Every structure is written in C-alpha cells, then in structure tokens.
Amino acid sequence: MNMTRLKTALYALCLLPLALPAAPIADAPFWQDMAVRIGHATELSNAACSRLCIDKENTVYVLTSKGVARVYEGTLALDKSYRPLAGRIAKDIALTPRGDLALQFEEGWISNGLDSSQPPAANPFWAVRQPPPPAQPGMPWKELTCKASVPGGTWFGSTRGAFFVREGVSARYATPAAPGIEPPVTRYYAGHRWLRDDSVRDIAVDHDGHVWILTKTGLNKIEFVRTTMAAKAEWFHRKIRSRNIRYGFTAERRMLVAGDITSSEMIDTDNDGGWTSYYIGALGARYATTHEEPIRQQAWESFAALERLQHIHTNTGFPGRTFERRGFKFSDTDRWRDAPDPGWEWKGHTSSDEICSQTYAHAVMWELVATNAAERARVASNFIPIVDHIIAHDLYLVDVDGKPTLWGRWNPEYVNWFPPTIHDRQLNSAEITGSLQLAFAMTGNPRYREKAYELFSRFGYLTNILNSIKLVAPTPGYVHLGNDMGDEWNHSDDELAFFAYWPLVRFAFTPELRGKFQEVVREHLEIEHTERYPIWNFIAAACGVRKVDAPGSVWTLRGAPLDTIAWRVTNSHRQDVTKLPPNFMHRELRELLPPGERLIARINTQPFILDQGDDTTDFPGDEYLLGYWLGRYVKAISAP
C-alpha cells in the first residue's frame, strides 16, 4: 500500500462515534413480562374452565367441568391429592380467611385446611364472586368479566383479553418507563403471544407477583422478572447463537405447527445476506465497546457467509442472496441457480437491499472488527469486487443471465428518471456514493473518488442526496417493471437509507461533505422520530447527529418482548387507540403502542399497524441486539 492509500486507511480507522451531549441513560432494572406456557394434561381435553384460586402456599387451582385441577411443575392436571374428594365435581371454589382452598358441593362448602372440622353450615361463602365491573372510558375493551386489585393498579379480564390499569406514577405491571417518558395508563395482553384465547374468565396474582389468567380454553401465566437491557441483550444473543444460525446467516425459523417452536426448521429467506449484515453490525458495535474476542470471532463467522455469497458461483462481484444444499431451497424457488459444486444451490436476483446492507457490514468489519492490515485486506478483497462489478456494468448489478436485476440499479438513466418526490432518487444516489467512498477508504484508489465526483458534477447525485426528504409525496404513475414507485411511502427504503447513511457520513470524502450528509440524516430522523426506533436513532448518533431520541429508544428496548414469534396481533377492535384514515405512510393508528402490544416484525416494517402476524415464523431478534449495542457504542446507554 502506498503512502496515499495508507493515510486514507488510517484516516478512516480514526473515525470514532460522536458522544451524545447528554449523559448516558443508566441501565436501571425494570420489570420484564414473559408468557409462560402452562401444559394441560390430556384428561382436561375439552374441559370448560371457570374459576381460579391461589392458596396461601402459592398453589394454583382451577375449577373445570371435569373437576378441580391444580398446577404441577408447569402442568395443569386434575387434583387427586385428597382421596375422599378425588373424582368429585365441585360447583365452585374459593379461599377461606386463612387462605386455604374451599370447594363447594351439593352438601355445602368443604375445606381441607385447619377449619375443615367445622360443619359445612358454619362455613361462610368465603370469597364472594363480584359481578363484572363496568368498563371505564379509555379501556381497551368494554365487555369486562373480572378484576383483581394489586398494589399500583387493577387487573381486568374481558372478552377480548386482559389488561392492567395503572394508578399512580409507577407499578410493577406498568409498561417499563424511560427518562421523561411516562408509561401508558393501560397495558394490554391479548392474542397467542400471551394467552391461549382472549375470553378471560378469571385473574389472580400469586405471592411472587406473577399474573395467572384463566381463559375459556385453559390457564395462562405472565411472569414479571427484574432485568436490565444488558441482560436482555445477552438473552437475545444466546437465543440467536443456539437457535437461529444457518451456515453463518441469521435465520428465521418456520413452524410446521403454528406456535410450536419444537416443530420449527431454519429456512432461507429473500435477504439472508442483508439480515446477517445487520447482525454483523450488532457484533461489531459490541466488540468495539467491550473488546470481547469471542464476539469478534462470531462476527468473522458471519462475514464468512457473506464471502461465500460471492464465491459460490462464477459471476465475479455479484453477491447472491443466500444458498442452501441442493434440493432444499424454500423461498422464491424460481430465483435459484445451480452452483458449480453439485451439492449446493444459490439464490440470485439480488437487489439494492443486499448491496446496501452488505456495504454497511463491510464498513463495520473494516472499521470496528478488523484489528490488523491482513484482516482489513480480507474485508476489502470481498467488497471491492462488488463495487468494481457495478462500475464495470454501467452502475447496474448484472445477474448470470446478463441482465440487471430488478432493483440493482444506480445508473443515472434510472436514478434521475424519478422526480425528487420519489425517495428512490435520493436513496440510490446515497447508496452508490457511500459504496464508492468506502471503496476509496479501503484502497486509496482515486478511481472511486473520481467516479463519485463525476456522478456529482455530471448527473446531480449530490443534489439528489441533499434534496429534502420532506419533498417525498404521492407521485403515482412512475411504473418500473410493473411496480408503481410513487404510490406509497416504502418503509424498506427507510431501512436502506439509515444503513446507507453509515458509509455515506462516516467515510465522507471531505469534512464539508460530512456536514452536508449529517443534515440529511438529521432531517430523515425527524420524519421517523415517532417510531422511537433505537437503530435509527443510534445510527444517526454514530453519524454525528446530536439531537436523537435516546429516551424513546430505551423505552422501546425495555418494552420489547422476549418472545420472537410473529404471533397474530389484533388491535383494530380497541377503544383506547385513535385509528387513522388511509394515508401515504400506511400508518393505521396515531399512538405508538408499547412493543409488547404490537407485531413482531423485521426492520423494514413500520410499527403503526393494527393487525398482523402469522403464528408460524420465529425471527432471530437481531434487531434488539443492533439497537442495544449501537446505543452502547455511541454512549447513549451506560454499561450495567
């Protein structure tokens, strides 16, 4: 490497995250909710459940149409403990003043506690069943069935799920707060993420503070456990390493039986290289923060998958989307090609999504993970062929059929066909500029800088990048190969834009350009601020944007559920949300619901969606890792 290239490389390596003006947010403990699946013995099949009691020993009892059942180590089964009562069908159950279970039969109430020797007539109806309370304005649903008072608020059951209503400033059961962000008054639990069904019959809180919810088809438990963001991040890390790694890719799992993770298998997707790139980003940010060598090695393992995306075929510089052993491909089976190795197939038709995300991953590996010249050369040797391929093919990504892919297009004829009201004009200009800047930083070769400046001066790409994103508006009629490019705000473009900002800003050719690009990021973040999305905020911070929503990001990280299954979530019936008419951004409600009350989705999906989910997909959870570790990297979140 000559001196010019050496200086360029050293300049880029000296890039550091710009600290936020405020002090880091402390990783204070909070209460994490977790659904615990309670097994049901086969003898309770088709049993109707009606009443729930928890006695003084913290034993959980359920009145069913087949008899009184109790929980044994996570399984609900008929209670055969007392032989004189085994097999008898009680009419009701309640607790005595001492907290023992009492059962009502035709002859009266019976208890096996200290007062069991008293005649039934002397035993009062210890726990009078209260009539369902009337619903109050602002509650999610009006048809209430039961309630349970606890310190700090009240739990309510309804015909459409359960919810907690907070009274006062804070409570164990309120949505976790963040500095300056008060939790919502109501916390709502419905759908298969939390319950067997939504027809709630009874609610009780045990002595450990966990909530038991009896529904029409059985018993449910929601535990509340004290944790931190750091502990959650480690949980997601271990979950991914043990459940979602396929050939180095972060993989989704498909459940052959809805909701049953034991029936799941890892599958290929349309963007395995892209999703894995974001996981590499999480590992890179973690290593740059903590310097854990095992984490660095895991980043290299996933980077090897990106390397193989190019080496599995002979189309130089063309990264495939994914690969699989021959005969087992799952997604878009018409886009697969045979590999020279007869045991494998790979998926082509690669889009700008993959190029943008992999550019980000290569930037992270080169800047944050590689520790010596040989490792940086390894990263460069995989990235430079991609850029050279695009330049050699007139700024198109050309597949093995010799044709540009549907979205792999950065040629001025394509880019400048769009008016400034369509985001692709700005986005594609930013993507190719960031890639050229990263290639120049890696090699010091002036051809990459010269190509970028040619696009600036001859074709207006700098102007395209600096155009205000506030100009984006409905512009129907610009149809590209059957796709109307201006009929909606595409949230995949938000995803691509923020990851394109990383090389665009951090590897800018000059400080003057960096300042202009930072303004682009800042303005885009203003559009997205209502999402309280950690990744957008902390990428912006890493790009030097001073005003980011760190509290909102922490609110999202604390509230994120640990369950990564894409359960069907339904909120369109709720009476405590404001529904919006059809709009350009496809936002269906005004309020940002807490993460545990809305869909689990990938990074390219906006959160203002009422109903969505399939019950059959398990996502890795790498979005949490990336958000948390970027927050640590830019010093927005303190170490635990």
- Read off the pLDDT of residues 36-92 as tens digits, 9 standing for 90 and up: 999 999 999 999 999 999 999 999 999 999 999 999 999 999 999 999 998 899 999
Residue 629 has pLDDT above 80, yes or no: yes
pLDDT digits (tens, 9 = 90+) for 543-553: 999 999 999 99
pLDDT in tens, 74-85: 999 999 999 999
State how far Cα 318 lies from the chain centre: 29
Confidence of residue 5 (pLDDT cuts 50, 70, 90): very low
Domain range for 56: 33-122
Assigned domain for 216 exists: no
Q: What percent of the chain has pLDDT over 70?
A: 94
pLDDT at 115: 61
* pLDDT band at 96; cut points 50, 70, 90: very high
| Residue 145 pLDDT exceeds 70 | yes
- Residue 268, domain member (yes or no): yes
What's the rounded Cα separation, in Å, for the pair 129 and 267? 50
Check residue 565 and give its pLDDT. 97
**Predicted pLDDT at 367:** 98
Of 416 and 8, more confident: 416
d(CA 366, CA 364) in angstroms, rounded, equals: 5
Are residues 89 and 14 both part of a single domain? no
- Tokens read off for 407: 């979205």
What is the rounded average pLDDT of the residues 287-314? Answer: 98
Taking the whole predicted model, whether its pTM rises above 0.75 is answered as: yes
* Whole-number pLDDT of residue 135: 87
Q: How many CB atoms lie within 10 A of CB 158?
A: 23
Q: Is residue 285 part of a domain?
A: yes
Predicted confidence band at 132 (pLDDT cuts at 50, 70, 90)?
A: confident
Other CB atoms within 10 Å distance of the CB of residue 580: 14
Q: Are residues 16 and 105 in the same domain?
A: no
Is the per-residue pLDDT at 125 higher than 60? Answer: no
Span 200-213, mean pLDDT? 97
Is residue 215 assigned to a domain?
Answer: no
User: Which range is least confidently modeled, 35-44, 116-125, 248-257, 428-437?
Assistant: 116-125
> Does residue 195 have a pLDDT over 90?
yes
Query: How far is residue 456's CA from residue 477's CA, in Å, rounded to a whole number?
Result: 27
The residue among 316, 354, 261, 364 whose CA lies nearest residue 35 is: 261
Same domain as 108, residue 238: no
Could you give the angle at the alpha carbon of 237 between the alpha carbons of 235 and 243, nearest 5°? 95
How confident is the model over 140-161, as a mean pLDDT?
96
Domain-embedded: residue 39: yes
Decide if 260 is inside a domain. Answer: yes
Pair (16, 78) in one structural domain: no
Both 13 and 118 in a single domain? Answer: no
- Asked if residue 326 lies in contact with residue 336, where contact means CB atoms within 8 angstroms, the answer is no
Domain edge (last residue) among 76, 103, 122: 122
The three state secondary structure string of 357-421 is HHHHHHHHHHHHHCCCHHHHHHHHHHHHHHHHHHHHCCCEEECCCCCEEEEEECCHHHHCCCCCC
Instruction: Tell me which H or E stretch contains 465.
Output: helix 461-466
- For residue 554, is it within any domain? yes
With a cut of 80, say whether residue 273 has pLDDT above it.
yes
Could you tell me the CATH number of the domain that includes residue 559?
1.50.10
pLDDT recorded at residue 442: 98
Please give the mean pLDDT across all residues of the chain.
94
Measured between alpha carbons, how far is residue 4 from residues 10, 15, 226, 354, 381 in Å? 10, 17, 53, 31, 19
- Number of domains present in the structure of the chain: 2
* Domain match, 472 and 400 both: yes
* Same-domain pairing of 20 and 95: no
515/472 same-domain check:
yes
Q: What's the CA angle centered on 508, arms 502 and 514, to 5 degrees? A: 90
Residue 314 CA, chain-centre distance (Å), reads 35
Pair (305, 241) in one structural domain: yes
Give the Cα separation of 534 and 517 in Å (integer): 20
Cα dihedral sign for 207, 213, 214, 220? negative
For 395-435, write each residue's pLDDT tens digit: 999 999 999 999 999 999 999 999 999 999 999 999 999 99
Q: Which residue has the tokens 């096996």?
A: 112
Give Cβ neighbours of residue 593 (< 8 Å, ≥ 6 apart): 571, 577, 607
Residues 24 and 71 in one domain: no
Chain segment 438-479, per-residue pLDDT in tens: 999 999 999 999 999 999 999 999 999 999 999 999 999 999
> Which pLDDT belongs to residue 264?
97
Provide DSSP, 412-449.
Answer: HHHHTTS-TTSTHHHHHHHHHHHHHHHHHHHH--HHHH
Instruction: Label residue 481 by pLDDT band (50, 70, 90).
Output: very high
The rounded percent of the chain whose pLDDT value lies above 90 is: 91
Same domain for 483 and 506, yes or no, is yes
Q: In what order do the strands lie in the sheet with 75-78?
A: 39-40, 75-78, 67-72, 60-64, 49-54
Average confidence (pLDDT) over 11-32: 72
Which residues are registered as beta bridge partners of 250? 245
Banded pLDDT at 118 (limits 50, 70, 90) = low
Q: Give residue 23's pLDDT.
A: 92
Choose one of 85, 106, 122: the last residue of a domain: 122
Q: Is the pLDDT of residue 4 over 70?
A: no
Q: Which of 61, 90, 122 is the last residue of a domain?
A: 122
Task: Tell whether 616 and 509 lie within a shared domain.
Answer: yes
Residue 640 maps to a domain: no
The residues pairing with 72 across neighbouring beta strands, listed in sequence order, are 75
